[in-house]
């Protein structure tokens, strides 16, 4: 999924995305994924305890 975004940006701008930008994008994606996972786990535990 992320590579498709980089390809689309490359098509629009005419030049490939730099390695640094790809690295930052991957880090942001992982942070978002971990945040969503933590929220889901928190909600699951809250429902188990709270009824």
For the chain, domain boundaries: 18-51
Q: What is the pTM of this model?
A: 0.73
pLDDT tens, 8-46? 999 999 999 999 999 999 999 999 999 999 999 999 999
2 confidence band (pLDDT: 50, 70, 90): confident
51 confidence band (pLDDT: 50, 70, 90): low
CA–CA gap between residue 1 and residue 9 (Å, rounded): 13
pLDDT > 70: percent of the chain: 98
Q: Quick check: 29 and 5 in contact, CB under 8 A?
A: no
Q: Quick check: 17 and 6 in contact, CB under 8 A?
A: yes
Instruction: Please state, as a whole number, how many other Cβ atoms lie within 10 Å of the Cβ of residue 5.
Output: 13
Q: What is the three-class DSSP state of 18?
A: coil
Task: Kindly tell me the sign of the dihedral angle through the C-alpha atoms of 4, 24, 11, 15.
Answer: negative
């Amino acid at each position: 999924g992320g590579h498709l975004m980089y390809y689309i940006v490359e098509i629009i701008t005419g030049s490939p995305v730099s390695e640094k930008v790809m690295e930052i994008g991957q880090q942001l994606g992982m942070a978002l994924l971990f945040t969503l996972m933590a929220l889901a786990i928190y909600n699951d535990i809250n429902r188990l305890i709270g009824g």
